[in-house]
Structure 1
Amino acid sequence: MDTPPPFRTLTDLGEDDPSPGARGLDHVLTLIAAPGSAALTVERVEAVRTALGGLGAETDRPRWLAPGEACDIAFAGLAMEQAEGSARAVLADLPVDLLAQPVADRKKALLISDMDSTIVTSETLDDLAEHAGLRDAIAAITRRAMNGELDFAEALRERVGMLADLSEEAFARTWADTRLTTGARALVGTMKANGARCLLVSGGFRYFTSRVADLCGFDDHVSNDVVIENGRLTGAVVEPVRDRQSKLATLMAEAGRLRLPMSRTLAVGDGANDLPMLLAASLGVAFHARPAVAAEARAVIRHGDLTALLFAQGYTREEFTESA
């Protein structure tokens, strides 16, 4: 068996600049353990680094972003898919997310985020349906739409139609039980503290996106609305429906307005209507996503919370700042 090439570290190179890019290490592999899992040990990280070296990569010492939780391994001379595959073989079924990406433009200047099952833990339309006694029926349609089996706009019209005559008070009762996903405020707060623009773009309803945007500190929000007359839903959606193309269009328009290259963009979501913007963004993250979405997205977070998106950008836990 061939002997793996020796590791090249700062000491080996005799360089003072700690920047991976300055040393020709143009990619970075980020390992992120599920919170509280203790799955990311020094020994396991070194085993991953050894595996990368065995494939011919040049690597640097691991840079811990949060002790025992997240770390970077800068590397060169290996394709991103090779690095990820090698790391996955070492870590096997451990609850560790991993992502290889270029070092350049790693910190993003624009965040476009889905709301339901991403920034909040639930599907707010399904929760709203609970107050009409229709949760199971509407949730079944939601699952199919989010997995790409149904046209999103038609599925939304169908579900809202089933809620005709529901009192608008159900919105307030639903909101009272809505919970933010762990890390949501840190994600937005940290990115905004570092100059990024953050938008919430949802196929859900304005009643909820306006409140979530305020709670997390998003700069703006784009979503759907329902027609209400005499305090009750009519069963109609205000047209046009905000769907997958609307999310992609928002990403492209904001990047253009800010004169940002796509390499400075981040998008996150879980459903099929998020996929176009995930594929268009430089860092498109399928977050605890539907199988069809996870199968196509470049980056997938299965175990971490939303702070995984900060680790993916190279932020240390000490740099996290929650929105006010």
Structure 2
Amino acid sequence: MKLITPPEGSRHQSAALISMLDVHHTVRFEPADRQWYACEASSQDQAILTLFCQSLTVAQCEAVIDGLNDYLCVGGLSAHPLSGRYGETVLRAPVLYKQRQGLAARCSQLSTALGVELGVQDTQPALAQPGVLVMDMDSTVIQIECIDEIAKLAGLGEQVSQVTEKAMRGELDFAQSLISRVACLQGVEQAQLAQIRDQIPLMPGISVLIGELKRHGWRIALASGGFTFFANYLQSRLGLDRAYANELEVVDGTLTGKVAGDIVDADTKAAVVSAMAEEYQVARGQTVALGDGANDLVMMRQAGLGVACHGKPVVNEKADVAIRFSGLHGLLYFLR
């Protein structure tokens, strides 16, 4: 084990320090005036802290430890096996809880203030073991809300996007808000949807995430409150196992303003997590749900790990961990 004690006021890049070690070594930040990794606690209070960003500094590491001092007793920070592979320095540490109340809010505050990704988990799914990932589509796998883009074709983009935003924050019933928004799409030619599909901007890191998981035998699905026209296309483009979404009713090549069949809502998304875990004989602890809106919270609770992706405040607060700044490949760092 290599012990590193940065001098007072040090602002060296920890990435440079990590480069001197292989992933089996431990980097300890041990200010002389604080024994922050000494703590008495029972085994059920043990957890894992994960910290990452590009160009992670010693100052940021120390600020995280200082900021969590009232909640956690932290052990040595070690490099995650994927640290550096995709551009971020990724550190993790065994931690012992002093208390949990307010911990999620404190992690959120530190993450935002320091510009780092930060999460504390009781358990972590294993990357090397087969698992299931169920992802939201709009504003998660892709950078747009497809319904808002269709509404622009009908000249109602701003009106619909305001309703979408409220629904994603959990301020409106999702199913009812979807019905009212789809009604605004009446008269749009189905052929026009191809303009949106052919220019869909993927969320950064999605290809890395999918590629890494598939190499380890994971099954991956979309479960979206959006539409099959786009979800089926993404299933094919990204090589996903399943895609579930709402179907827009079309008559004579024109949208009628109605949804055909049952609505894919929060409960449907949660059912997808359970069904895929059963189909592929995957334990709950190896299931992950990823999303940004309030309608994703039910599937996050159903999964072993719920991950917010550039989420609305309520989602960041209630998810197990949150990705606020990095690409979707950041989810990999919350796996062991």
Scaled by the length of structure 1, what TM-score is found?
A: 0.81
- Find 2:73's aligned residue among 57, 68, 73: 57
- Find 2:216's aligned residue among 194, 197, 217: 194
Q: CA deviation at 1:90?
A: 6.9
Q: CA deviation at 1:221?
A: 0.5
Q: Quote the residue 1:74 is aligned against.
A: 93
Q: CA deviation at 1:292?
A: 2.4
Q: Is the 8 A contact 1:5 1:56 kept in 2?
A: no
Query: Does 2:60 match 1:44?
Result: yes
Q: Quote the residue 1:320 is aligned against.
A: none
Q: CA deviation at 1:53?
A: 8.1
CA distance in 1, matches of 2:107, 2:312: 23
Q: CA deviation at 1:235?
A: 1.3
Q: CA deviation at 1:302?
A: 1.4
Cα–Cα, structure 1 residues 72 and 85, in superposed 2: closer, same or farther, change >3 Å? Answer: farther
Query: Does 2:115 match 1:95?
Result: yes
Residue identity over aligned pairs, in percent, reads: 32
Alignment-mate amino acid for residue 41 of structure 1: T
Q: Is the 8 A contact 1:32 1:69 kept in 2?
A: yes
Q: Is the 8 A contact 1:113 1:268 kept in 2?
A: yes
- Find 2:297's aligned residue among 265, 275, 281: 275
CA distance in 2, matches of 1:6, 1:138: 50
Cα–Cα, structure 1 residues 54 and 161, in superposed 2: closer, same or farther, change >3 Å? Answer: closer
Map 1:108-257 → 2, pairs under 5 A: 109-257=131-279
Cα–Cα, structure 1 residues 74 and 210, in superposed 2: closer, same or farther, change >3 Å? Answer: same
- Find 1:28's aligned residue among 25, 32, 48: 48
For residues 46-71 of structure 1, give each alpha carbon's deviation from its aligned partner in whole angstroms, at most 9, with x where no partner exists. 56457778977361342154347232
Alignment-mate amino acid for residue 91 of structure 2: D
Which of 150-159 and 267-276 deviates more? 150-159
Q: Is the 8 A contact 1:7 1:53 kept in 2?
A: no
Alignment-mate amino acid for residue 73 of structure 2: A
Q: CA deviation at 1:299?
A: 1.4
Q: Is the 8 A contact 1:28 1:72 kept in 2?
A: no
For residues 286-323 of structure 1, give each alpha carbon's deviation from its aligned partner in whole angstroms, at most 9, with x where no partner exists. 11111222232221221121011011114xxxxxxxxx
2:113 alignment partner, SS class:
coil
Q: CA deviation at 1:73?
A: 2.5
Cα–Cα, structure 1 residues 255 and 159, in superposed 2: closer, same or farther, change >3 Å? Answer: same
Structure 2 residue runs of 5 or longer lacking an equivalent are: 1-31, 39-43
Which of 304-313 and 109-118 deviates more? 304-313
Query: Does 2:304 match 1:304?
Result: no
Alignment-mate amino acid for residue 52 of structure 2: I
Cα–Cα, structure 1 residues 238 and 75, in superposed 2: closer, same or farther, change >3 Å? Answer: same
Length, aligned pairs only = 295
Q: Is the 8 A contact 2:73 2:98 kept in 1?
A: no
Which of 82-91 and 252-261 deviates more? 82-91
CA distance in 1, matches of 2:195, 2:99: 46
1:66 alignment partner, SS class:
coil
Cα–Cα, structure 1 residues 179 and 74, in superposed 2: closer, same or farther, change >3 Å? Answer: same
CA distance in 1, matches of 2:166, 2:68: 39
Q: CA deviation at 1:142?
A: 0.8
CA distance in 2, matches of 1:50, 1:158: 48
* CA root-mean-square deviation: 3.0
Q: CA deviation at 1:86?
A: 7.5
For residues 182-237 of structure 1, give each alpha carbon's deviation from its aligned partner in whole angstroms, at most 9, with x where no partner exists. 00111111111111110111011111001112222211101111111111111111
Q: Is the 8 A contact 2:168 2:312 kept in 1?
A: yes
- Larger RCO (alpha carbons 8 Å, 6+ apart): 1
Structure 1 residue runs of 5 or longer lacking an equivalent are: 9-23, 315-324
1:62 alignment partner, SS class:
strand
Alignment-mate amino acid for residue 100 of structure 1: V
CA distance in 1, matches of 2:45, 2:271: 34
Alignment-mate amino acid for residue 125 of structure 1: I
